[in-house]
Amino acid sequence: MSEPPTRATDSRLLLAAARRALGIEAQAVVALQSRLDERFVAACAVCLDCQGRVVVTGIGKSGHVARKIAATLASTGTPAFFLHPAEASHGDLGMITRIDVVLAVSNSGETPELLLLVPHLKRLGVPLLTMTGAPSSNLADAAAAVLDVSVPEEACPLNLAPTASTTAALAMGDALAVALLEARGFTAVDFARSHPGGALARRVLTRVEDIMRRGADVPRVLPHTPLVEGLAEMSRKGLGMTVIVDGADRVQGVFTDGDLRRALDRRIDVERALMREVMTVGCKSIAPRELAAEGAHLMEMHRITTLPVVDGAKLVGVFNVHDLLRAGVM
C-alpha cells in the first residue's frame, strides 16, 4: 500500500499547478498583442462615434467578464452598462436605443441568447461588436468588428473551465477601454469625477477653499500688536501660528512657534516687543482655488504645518496638516 502524500509533496503539487495556470494565462494575454490590427481600430472607431452608450452583454462566465468591461468603460470616459441577454428578450431590449453600440462577449460565438439579439439590433440599426474565441462564428459574422480572444488551451487541466479564455477577454476589454481613454483625452481629473468617493478624487478635486478655516477661526494680528497679545491670539486659535496683516487684511508676515523660539534665543523682551519685530516676512502662502494636494506638497517641501490662504494679497483663510488629514488629502 502506497504512503499518503506528505505536506511537502502536497505543497509542490499545489505550487506547480498554480504556476502552470499562471503561465498559460500569461501566454494567452501576450498572444493578444499580435491580434491588435485594423479590426481593433474599427471597434474603437465605432465606440468613439457612438452618441449613446456601449451596451456590453454576455452570459455565464462571459457575462461576468462583460460586467467588468462595462464598469471599466464607464469609469474611463466611455458611457456603458451591462445588459443580461436572457432578460433582453423579456423587456430589457428597450434599454438599447438607436444611438447605442452593443459589445457581445462570447467565447463560442454561438451563444443562443446573444444570437437572438442580432435581428433586433439590425432592425434598430445598432452596430454590433463581438469579442469571441471563435472569429468564424455566427456572432462574429454579424458583427461590424470582431475582437479575437481565442486561446489554445484553458488553464484548467481538464481544458474545460473558462480560465485562460476569460483572462484574455478581460485583458482585451482593458485594452479597448485604455485605447478609448487616450483617444478621448481622458485625464486624472475626469477619472476622479467618476470616482468621487475614492482617495484619488479627494486628492485631485479638493481645493484649498473647501477645507480652509475662515473668518474668526483665522489667527491674525496687526504689525504693531504687542507680542504678548500675538501669543494670546495663537493660543486662542490653536494653530501654533498667527498671520500678521495690515488694516486692509493684506498679509505682512507670519509668526510661529519656531519664530518664538528664535526670538527667545535673541533674548527679545517679550513684554515690550511688537509683532513686526519678530515676524517672518515673505511667508509661504497659497490661493484658495489651488488644489489642497498642492498645499500638502508645499508644507512637505518647506517643512511647515500651516499655510495662510491669500487671494491677491488679502488673507482669506488658513489651513494646517490636520485639516488635510480630515479631508483625506494626506
pLDDT of residue 297: 86
Beta bridge partners of 45: none
C-alpha cell at 250: 493684506
Residue 61 neighbours by CB under 8 Å, 6+ apart: 107, 162, 166
Cα(239)–Cα(151) distance, rounded to whole angstroms?
A: 62
- Write the DSSP string, 210-251: HH-B-GGGS-EE-TTSBHHHHHHHHHHHTSSEEEEE-TT-BE
pLDDT of residue 201: 57
Burial of 185 (0-12, 13-18, 19+ CB in 10 A): exposed
Q: pLDDT by residue for the chain (330 residues), tens digit each?
A: 556 666 666 888 999 999 999 999 999 999 999 999 999 999 999 999 999 999 999 999 999 999 999 999 998 889 999 999 999 888 888 999 999 999 999 999 999 999 999 999 999 999 999 999 999 999 999 999 999 999 999 999 998 899 999 999 999 999 999 999 999 987 765 665 665 555 555 666 788 999 999 999 999 999 999 999 999 999 999 999 999 999 999 999 999 999 999 999 988 888 899 999 999 998 899 999 988 888 888 888 888 999 999 998 899 999 999 998 888 776
pLDDT of residue 313: 87
pLDDT of residue 150: 96
What number of residues does the chain have?
330
pTM here?
A: 0.66
Cα(143)–Cα(53) distance, rounded to whole angstroms?
A: 17
Domains and CATH numbers, the chain: 7-186 (3.40.50.10490), 208-326 (3.10.580.10)
C-alpha cell at 260: 518664538
pLDDT of residue 50: 95
